[in-house]
Structure 1
Amino acid sequence: MEKKKYTVLMSVYYKEKPAYLKNSIESMLNQTIPPDEFVIVKDGPLSRDLDDVIEKFIDENPGLFTIIENKINLGLGPALAKGILASRNSLIARMDSDDYSVNTRCERQLNVFEKDPTLEMVGSFEAEFIDNIENVISIHSVPETDTEIRKFMRRRCAVLHPTVMYKKQSVINSGNYQDVHLYEDYDLFARMVLEHNTKTYNIQENLYYIRTSKDFFKRRGGVKYAHTVLKFKWGQYKKGYMSLEDFIISGLGQVIVCLLPNSMRKWFYTTFLR
């Protein structure tokens, strides 16, 4: 491992709000151990305001930013796959373009890697907030140890995507990100953990704030979303990543939740899935 060196990987597309993007980038630049490189994938043409935010950071931090520009919007999976390949460091920290990282996040993750060089991916809890980080609506917790993560992964994703720091080569060896609608993270992490035996650890503290909205749970409902869930989890079953029992409990269970009224779905998520 290149001690104390890591790359931040972020994808941005045209719907992002400039103020959110600015705050997100700043939270990574203000880390107690700052990044050695910041890769931004512009996933399709951006607004002038978004480009201005990025250009200002480039001007203020010469040599830090690597910019990849997609002529059209490819989607999160293909965009991040490009960013992985372009990163110059062996360790990469994911960051979403509208969220916020605690300023000790990357130092904590680097320390975990240093203590156990066999680890290949390290995540944490995340706090879900609306409007500002003082308005936290729930804490999303995940299992800690590699053994617990492997067991949990057979029914639900055991690693929270934007919180992770992972080894570049481990991602590439597992097939990198692929174009899997809504599930590019779970798809990658299942391949890493369940097929390629990637050793993983989750810090049992919130080091990340993920932005949600009042319609967060509404977007996770409906027949179309239920179909996407069922198709993905059936694919996981066919690959041998989960048993038939796991598929029935996880896949069909989530379909039922998708079809619940929004108020009941919100209650279920915040009571049982967090």
Structure 2
Amino acid sequence: MTMPNDYPPFSVLMSVYKSDNPNYLDFALKSIEQQTVKPNEIVLVEDGPISQELHEVIKKHTKLFEGNFKNIRLKTNNGLGVALKVGTKYISNQWIARMDSDDYSVPDRFEKQLKIITSQSDISAVGGQVAEFVTNINNVIGYRKVPVEKGLISDFIKWRSPINHPTVMLNKKSLINAGGYLPYGNLEDYFLWARMLSKNMKLYNSNDVLVHMRVDDGMYERRGKLKNIKFFYALRSFMYRNSLINLKEMILGDFIVTVNIIIPGWLRKIIYQRVLHK
């Protein structure tokens, strides 16, 4: 596969599991294949047994993709953190672009991220902005806005995840040095950014929308799972021990997290749509 000489080769890392919609996966993979700068490798991890329909989509794109398509099959469903940790072992390149199985990457997403990577030194991760949509990508209902510079990212992480995980492009060496992906409830990405910042790695975000993220009411319910609260508390304790937050910020953050967990889903949806992701 041809690629501009000034851009490093990169891989796309994805995970799919049995409940994923085959049409959404097809849409996501098409958005990778239609990029202005294409990856030379896709590593897709099947997180446990999946449907025949999903297998057909994967088979189709294995033939269509103009590069190396690695399909890794796990015998049991272990969650995103484990799937990505396994998938990382199969990555051949130094840069890894994350992509979820039901999202859409804008056509020049990778090109924009690679321009940032090649124009700045020692970057460990580059993310971007997200447009949330329902039904089709033109029906945008909100945005997940994150700060650009490292200093603002360091402030933002005190309260919320500072990088939109489905948009990120990671340096593999930095990822491994930070401990790699780990199972951590629904917070494997937030925990990763905290570990990277604790090691003074350089994180950055593009100001541009790089990914259109599909949302539904289930997303707001998942953010209120009681079992996640222990991971939130553990994460904030980690940030406190590593001087990413002070004691006052840890206590206040724990209170906010607790309230977010216990409020009803309909109220959480209003807060996210009208305040956090407007």
Question: Could you say which TM-score interval applies, normalised by the shorter chain?
Answer: over 0.9
Of 135, 138, 150, which aligns to 2:139?
Answer: 135
Give, as a single letter, the amino acid of the residue that structure 2 aligns with 1:244: L
Distance in structure 1 (CA, Å) of the matches to 2:234 and 2:153: 23
- The gaps in structure 1 that reach 5 residues or longer are none
Are the counterparts in 1 of residues 185 and 228 from structure 2 also a CA contact under 8 Å? no
Matching residue of 1:190: 194
- Larger mean CA deviation between 176-185 and 251-260 belongs to 251-260
Distance in structure 2 (CA, Å) of the matches to 1:222 and 1:89: 36
- Larger mean CA deviation between 242-251 and 20-29 belongs to 242-251
1:149 aligned onto 2:168: no
Distance in structure 1 (CA, Å) of the matches to 2:167 and 2:130: 7
Distance in structure 2 (CA, Å) of the matches to 1:254 and 1:270: 17
Matching residue of 2:162: 158
Distance in structure 1 (CA, Å) of the matches to 2:248 and 2:276: 19
Are the counterparts in 2 of residues 229 and 255 from structure 1 also a CA contact under 8 Å? no
1:178 aligned onto 2:182: yes
Distance in structure 1 (CA, Å) of the matches to 2:67 and 2:149: 37
Distance in structure 1 (CA, Å) of the matches to 2:36 and 2:254: 41
Matching residue of 2:274: 271
Distance in structure 1 (CA, Å) of the matches to 2:22 and 2:225: 30
1:246 aligned onto 2:249: yes
Of 62, 86, 105, which aligns to 2:90?
Answer: 86
Give the secondary structure class of the aligned counterpart of 2:123. coil
Of 243, 259, 262, which aligns to 1:259?
Answer: 262
The total of aligned residue pairs comes to: 273
- The gaps in structure 2 that reach 5 residues or longer are none
Of 203, 209, 212, which aligns to 1:209?
Answer: 212
> C-alpha deviations, 1:108-163, integer Å up to 9, x for none?
00000111132121110101111211221111100110111112112221111110
TM-score by length of structure 2 reads 0.91
Give the secondary structure class of the aligned counterpart of 1:209. strand
Change (3 A) 1:54 1:223: closer
- Tell me the CA shift for residue 260 of structure 1: 2.4
- Report percent identity of matched pairs: 37
Of 107, 115, 118, which aligns to 1:114?
Answer: 118
Distance in structure 1 (CA, Å) of the matches to 2:109 and 2:169: 10
Q: How large is the Cα RMSD of the aligned pairs?
A: 1.9
- Tell me the CA shift for residue 96 of structure 1: 0.2
TM-score by length of structure 1 reads 0.93
- Larger mean CA deviation between 56-65 and 134-143 belongs to 56-65
Change (3 A) 1:63 1:102: closer
Distance in structure 1 (CA, Å) of the matches to 2:93 and 2:231: 34
Of 38, 56, 62, which aligns to 1:58?
Answer: 62
Change (3 A) 1:236 1:218: same
- Tell me the CA shift for residue 227 of structure 1: 5.1
1:126 aligned onto 2:130: yes
Give the secondary structure class of the aligned counterpart of 1:86. coil
Distance in structure 1 (CA, Å) of the matches to 2:86 and 2:227: 29
Distance in structure 2 (CA, Å) of the matches to 1:263 and 1:19: 28
Are the counterparts in 1 of residues 147 and 156 from structure 2 also a CA contact under 8 Å? yes
